[in-house]
Amino acid sequence: MAFEGLSDRLQQSIKKIKGKGKVSEQDVKEMSREVRLALLEADVNFKVVKDFVKRIRERSVGEEVMSSLTPGQQVIKIVKDELTELMGGNESKIAVSKRSPTVVMMVGLQGAGKTTTTGKLANLLRKSYNRQPLLAAADVYRPAAIQQLETLGSQLDMPVHSQGTEADPVDIAKQAVEQAKEEHHDYVIIDTAGRLHVDGDLMGELQRIKDAVEPDEIFLVVDAMTGQDAVNVAESFDEQLDITGVLLTKLDGDTRGGAALSIKAVTGKPIKFAGMGEKLDQLEPFHPERMASRILGMGDMLSLIDKAQTQVDEKQAKDLESKMRNASFTFEDFLEQMEQVKNMGPLDEIVNMIPGANKMKGLQNASFDDKQIVHVEAIIQSMTKKERLDPSLMNASRKKRIAKGAGRSVSEVNRLLKQFEDMKKMMKQMSNTKGKKGKGMKFP
Ligand code: GDP
């Protein structure tokens, strides 16, 4: 998972100070040293680290901590606030132009994920903002780049403006804006050419496109896995093109975090979206505060709720709640739930969004294997409908048949049945305590 090392080390650094009723300068000094090392190890820009640690240190020995009743907690709040600021403070939204269409130009090095992200951004604009984008294929050099964008367009059922590989990219961009006007698209997203390295010819061409279509946004797509290189690339593109924002891809990989934590401070330009996987729905608005919270192990319930809201049908959720309340939840419902959870992404990522999950006993060293879900699904699918609705029918021969059908062992079938019974018992208890003050579920 992204940020894993940084997250562990930062949590270690703040652990000692957390519960302190009194925070000495020495405590702050020690913590700062550890925070500094954690950031450097995560490949955060040296100067950024220096400034960051200086600010934490100054604030931690200042009035706000010393006069606080919970100084330890106050220091942690400072670290979180500063981490949030480092990544840009507030969420930075995509521009909406007064003229239509809003023109977005995508730039970046080859392999950063520019073409894929063009498709993802269009998808997000339509799904979450109800926009109707037109895509434009202005990368005429990379073999198959145009075809790649056309394929994405057809997967998304979205039009793509292309004029083949012989046309001039500046003309393609201009014509695309014209087509968008005529066909009443409110966004046009132009995929431009990339190179393996920043070079003068490329920048010249991008500059000409910029002059011709006067984009509202120039988004630089950078690969989070390339760490400091991503920051250098961002600096050069910004110098030449005055970019308006950064789209950070591959945050689902095991990036150490350097790019995410340095780009805003070095370039002054915000990260607007983050790529969390190869699929077309895996682009998310970048929320600095939620990210800081996740890095410090405080969870990210808001993103979890966002994710759930895009995957879970409201009526289904209400039905489910009432089934839970009167404990009439069956294996059929369980199967449906698993489908929805699966759509939300890899399990360990989801678990990490729960506040305090990293401290919950049993979850600490658990590895969440998505294959487990597949096994459980196979077991439930091997049950007859009658069995799914009424597990009390289960006897030895039925269990044997189910295990065989699913290609799993009888003991796994038994384990699932037991877990299901336990879950129902818990639901019953929860619905009984509901309404009684102080007895509900509480997050740590
Ligand atoms: P371009 O040369 O910049 O246009 O790059 P592409 O769009 O062709 O992407 C290069 C590779 O990165 C492809 O294999 C993409 O699937 C992959 N990719 C793009 N964004 C992400 C992301 O957020 N996560 C992961 N894991 N892979 C990504």
CA–centroid distance, 250 to ligand 1, in Å, is 7
Q: Ligand 1: which of 116, 121, 222, 284 to mutate, judged by most atoms within 8 Å of the beta carbon?
A: 116
Ligand-binding annotation for 27, yes or no, is no
The 3-state secondary structure of 137-158 reads: EECCCCCCHHHHHHHHHHHHCC
- Out of 2.20.25.90, 3.40.630.10, 3.30.70.270, 1.10.260.30, the CATH code matching 303-433 is 1.10.260.30
Can you tell me the distance from the alpha carbon of 440 to that of 429, in angstroms, rounded to the nearest whole number? 10
Binding site membership of 217 for ligand 1 (Cβ less than 6 Å): no
Residue 311 predicted with pLDDT over 70? no
pLDDT of residue 377: 87
Split at pLDDT 50, 70, 90, the class of 368 is: low
End-to-end CA distance of the chain: 23
pLDDT digits over 23-39, tens only?
888 999 999 999 999 99
Question: Degrees (nearest 5) of the Cα angle 259, 260, 263?
Answer: 65
pLDDT of residue 443: 34
- Please give the structure tokens belonging to residue 6: 């940084």
Residue 56 predicted with pLDDT over 80? yes
Q: 102-294: which CATH topology?
A: Rossmann fold (3.40.50)
Edge-first strand order for the sheet with 283-285 is: 160-161, 133-138, 187-192, 102-107, 217-223, 245-249, 271-275, 283-285
Question: What is the residue whose two structure tokens read 């390295």?
Answer: 197
Can you tell me the distance from the alpha carbon of 213 to that of 105, in angstroms, rounded to the nearest whole number? 9
Arithmetic mean of pLDDT, 145-151: 95
CA–centroid distance, 323 to ligand 1, in Å, is 42
pLDDT of residue 345: 67
When mean pLDDT is compared across 182-196, 206-220, 275-289, 355-369, the lowest value belongs to 355-369
Q: Exposed, middle or buried, 25 (CB in 10 Å: 0-12/13-18/19+)?
A: exposed
136 contacts 114 by C-beta, under 8 angstroms: no
**Residue of minimum CA distance from atom 28 in ligand 1:** 278
pLDDT of residue 176: 98
User: Could you tell me which residue, 136 or 376, shows the higher pLDDT?
Assistant: 136
Q: Which ranges in the chain are annotated with CATH 3.40.50.300?
A: 102-294
Arithmetic mean of pLDDT, 255-272: 93
Q: Which ranges in the chain are annotated with CATH 1.10.260.30?
A: 303-433
Tell me the whole-structure pTM to 2 decimals: 0.73
CA-to-CA separations, 382 to 23, 29, 95, 377, 404, in angstroms, rounded: 59, 60, 50, 9, 9
Binding site membership of 254 for ligand 1 (Cβ less than 6 Å): no
pLDDT digits over 201-228, tens only?
889 999 999 999 999 999 999 999 998 8
User: Could you tell me which residue, 10 or 138, shows the higher pLDDT?
Assistant: 138
CA-to-CA separations, 146 to 116, 173, 424, in angstroms, rounded: 12, 13, 53
Tell me the CATH number for domain 4-86: 1.20.120.140
Q: Exposed, middle or buried, 361 (CB in 10 Å: 0-12/13-18/19+)?
A: exposed
pLDDT of residue 266: 93
pLDDT digits over 92-113, tens only?
889 999 888 999 999 999 999 9
pLDDT of residue 436: 45
Residue 112 Cα: closest atom of ligand 1: 3
pLDDT of residue 98: 86
Q: Which residues of 314-344 are buried (b: 16+ CB within 10 A; e: fewer)?
A: eeeeeebeeebeebebbbebbeeeeeeeeeb
Binding site membership of 119 for ligand 1 (Cβ less than 6 Å): no
CA–centroid distance, 112 to ligand 1, in Å, is 6
CA–centroid distance, 221 to ligand 1, in Å, is 10
pLDDT digits over 401-419, tens only?
999 999 999 999 999 898 8
When mean pLDDT is compared across 74-88, 188-202, 320-334, 380-394, the lowest value belongs to 320-334
Kindly report the number of other CB atoms within 10 A of residue 372's CB atom: 12
Residue 358 predicted with pLDDT over 90? no
Residue 360 predicted with pLDDT over 90? no
- Report the share of the chain in percent with pLDDT over 70: 84
**Residue of minimum CA distance from atom 26 in ligand 1:** 277
pLDDT of residue 438: 39
Binding site membership of 223 for ligand 1 (Cβ less than 6 Å): no
Binding site membership of 255 for ligand 1 (Cβ less than 6 Å): no
Binding site membership of 277 for ligand 1 (Cβ less than 6 Å): yes
pLDDT of residue 375: 87
Residue 114 Cα: closest atom of ligand 1: 3
User: Could you tell me which residue, 324 or 290, shows the higher pLDDT?
Assistant: 290
Can you tell me the distance from the alpha carbon of 385 to that of 419, in angstroms, rounded to the nearest whole number? 19
Can you tell me the distance from the alpha carbon of 252 to that of 243, in angstroms, rounded to the nearest whole number? 24
Residue 366 predicted with pLDDT over 90? no
Question: What is the amino acid identity at position 84?
Answer: T
Q: Any alpha helices (H) in 145-300, and if so which ranges?
A: 145-156, 169-182, 200-213, 228-241, 258-267, 288-295
pLDDT of residue 347: 65
pLDDT of residue 308: 65
pLDDT of residue 348: 65
Residue 109 Cα: closest atom of ligand 1: 3
Nearest alpha-carbon partner for 106 in 145, 147, 155, 164: 145
Ligand-binding annotation for 114, yes or no, is yes
Question: What is the amino acid identity at position 138?
Answer: A
pLDDT of residue 190: 98
What is the sign, positive or negative, of the torsion defined by CA atoms of 405, 415, 424, 368? negative
Can you tell me the distance from the alpha carbon of 332 to that of 389, in angstroms, rounded to the nearest whole number? 7
- Please give the structure tokens belonging to residue 274: 């983050």
CA–centroid distance, 444 to ligand 1, in Å, is 37
Ligand-binding annotation for 151, yes or no, is no
16 contacts 24 by C-beta, under 8 angstroms: no
Arithmetic mean of pLDDT, 436-442: 39
Q: Which ranges in the chain are annotated with CATH 1.20.120.140?
A: 4-86
CA–centroid distance, 165 to ligand 1, in Å, is 21
User: Could you tell me which residue, 4 or 44, shows the higher pLDDT?
Assistant: 44
Q: Ligand 1: which of 192, 249, 251, 252 to mutate, judged by most atoms within 8 Å of the beta carbon?
A: 249
379 contacts 334 by C-beta, under 8 angstroms: no
Split at pLDDT 50, 70, 90, the class of 437 is: very low
pLDDT, the chain, mean = 86
Split at pLDDT 50, 70, 90, the class of 1 is: low
pLDDT of residue 442: 37
- Report the share of the chain in percent with pLDDT over 90: 54
Contacts of 421 (CB under 8 A, 6+ apart): 391
Phi, psi of 61 (to 5 degrees): -105, 10
CA-to-CA separations, 28 to 13, 62, 79, in angstroms, rounded: 10, 11, 11
